[in-house]
Amino acid sequence: MVLITGSNGLVGSESAFFFLKKGFDVIGIDNNLRKDFFGKDGDTKWIQKRLNKYKKYTQYDFDIRDKKKIRNIFEKFNKDISIIIHAAAQPSHDFAKDNIFLDFEINALGSLNIFEYTHKYCPNAKVIHLSTNKVYGDNPNRIKLVEKKTRYEPLSKSFLRKGINESFNIDNSIHSFFGVSKTYADILAQEYGKNYGLKIGVFRAGCLTGPNHSGAGLHGFLSFLVKSCLKNKSYNIIGYKGKQVRDNLHSYDLINAFWEFIKKPKPGEVYNIGGGKYSNCSVIEAISHIEKRLNLEIKKKYLKKNRVGDHIWYISDLSKFKKDYPKWSVSYNSKSIIDEIIDIFS
């Protein structure tokens, strides 16, 4: 049996479909708080309707902050739970700044509930904790960069060739309050792995995307960008001239990384995960691809002020994960991800 928190979100739903197709019973926990966070664009009910068609899928509309209800789930299914995908979170920098307590309660205390009850009721379960590259704060912005025509790039050949690895410093930086709450959960997950032997992997993700994403203005960069360009023929570019670079990982590739870890877990291990050198783009490169693909001009509004803690250049170094799990590779690049979203929503 697989337990998935945030089961209607991008990663949670991709995980649910993956394990349902493998014949697992899947328990989903999701109360559609994304709609409260981000409005209509963040509503995930459309995904829940798809999941409810599967006989082996059962959903509980619980909040991971509710200790009693979460404990009841673990008490009910107990050691039948063999895999846990913890993907529920408040995912926005901007929302967190105005809702600090709510953000911390969901990302930090909610994660504590999941880890503690896993340890108590199903300690042999394999656990995936979805973390974020925002644990590094804005330290990546201290990498010396050069401005190119459509993107920023590092001057360092090492960073340019490989990307940012797991030894990158997380201290003395601006994380955003979202980054702080996720850093707590990240380190807590490591502690449950190293201290208690919980078979938990910590995945520090770059930009995750795919057609299941209910992208909104405050979260879901690539999904929201494509849908905004399709619907409005315009896009607001926030900071850095639109030359900030992100690596983009399709949720399909991410779940396959989870599966490799689940088959051979390393308790409390941390991995940077993203599209790496194979799949990355700047904001204006993404828009340019949409314009060429659809033969239209997107109206761009440039806003000078960047988001707090936003990265100018971030590409994940995938070396550690690929060394531990050599069968895994990235199959989608940024252009193919954009094309897929266009095909679905146009």
Q: Which two tokens stand for residue 83?
A: 């895999």
Contact (Cβ atoms closer than 8 angstroms) between residue 239 and residue 307: yes
C-alpha to C-alpha distance for 265 and 332, rounded to whole angstroms: 25
The pTM of the full predicted model, rounded to 2 decimals, is 0.93
Nearest CA-CA partner of 5 in 101, 157, 107: 107
What local confidence, expressed as pLDDT, does residue 221 receive? 67
Cα dist. 259→123, 210, 256 in Å? 18, 18, 5
What local confidence, expressed as pLDDT, does residue 344 receive? 83
C-alpha to C-alpha distance for 165 and 254, rounded to whole angstroms: 17
Residue with tokens 């990265």: 311
C-alpha to C-alpha distance for 36 and 338, rounded to whole angstroms: 27
Contact (Cβ atoms closer than 8 angstroms) between residue 338 and residue 293: yes
Strands 26-29 and 126-132: unpaired
Domain boundaries, the chain: 2-345
Per-residue pLDDT of the chain (346 residues; tens, 9 = 90+): 999 999 999 999 999 999 999 999 999 999 988 787 777 777 888 899 999 999 999 999 999 999 999 999 999 999 999 999 999 999 887 888 999 999 999 999 999 999 999 999 999 999 999 999 999 999 999 999 999 999 999 999 999 999 999 999 999 999 889 999 999 999 999 999 999 999 999 999 988 988 765 544 444 568 788 888 988 899 999 999 999 999 999 999 999 999 999 999 999 999 999 999 999 999 999 999 999 999 999 999 999 988 776 899 999 999 999 999 999 999 999 999 999 989 987 7
CATH topology assigned to domain 2-345: Rossmann fold (3.40.50)
Contact (Cβ atoms closer than 8 angstroms) between residue 165 and residue 122: no
Contact (Cβ atoms closer than 8 angstroms) between residue 30 and residue 12: yes
C-alpha to C-alpha distance for 240 and 245, rounded to whole angstroms: 10
pLDDT in tens, 102-153: 999 999 999 999 999 999 999 999 999 999 999 999 999 999 999 999 999 9
Burial class (CB in 10 A: 0-12, 13-18, 19+), 321: buried
Cα dist. 221→113, 175, 229 in Å? 29, 18, 12
Contact (Cβ atoms closer than 8 angstroms) between residue 176 and residue 132: no
User: What string of H, E and C letters represents the secondary structure of the chain?
Assistant: CEEEECCCCHHHHHHHHHHHHCCCCEEEECCCHHHHHHHHHHCCHHHHHHHCCCCCEEEECCCCCCHHHHHHHHHHHHHHCCEEEECCCCCCHHHHHHCHHHHHHHHHHHHHHHHHHHHHHCCCCEEEEEEEHHHHCCHHHHCCEEECCCCEEECCHHHHHHCECCCCCCCCCCCHHHHHHHHHHHHHHHHHHHHHCCEEEEEEECEEECCCCCCECCECHHHHHHHHHHHHCEEEEECHHHCCEEEEEEHHHHHHHHHHHHHCCCCCEEEEECCCCCCEEEHHHHHHHHHHHHCCCCEEEEECCCCCCCCCEECECCHHHHHHCCCCCCCCCHHHHHHHHHHHHC
The dihedrals phi and psi of 175, each to the nearest 5 degrees, come to -95, -25
What's the one-letter identity of residue 168? F
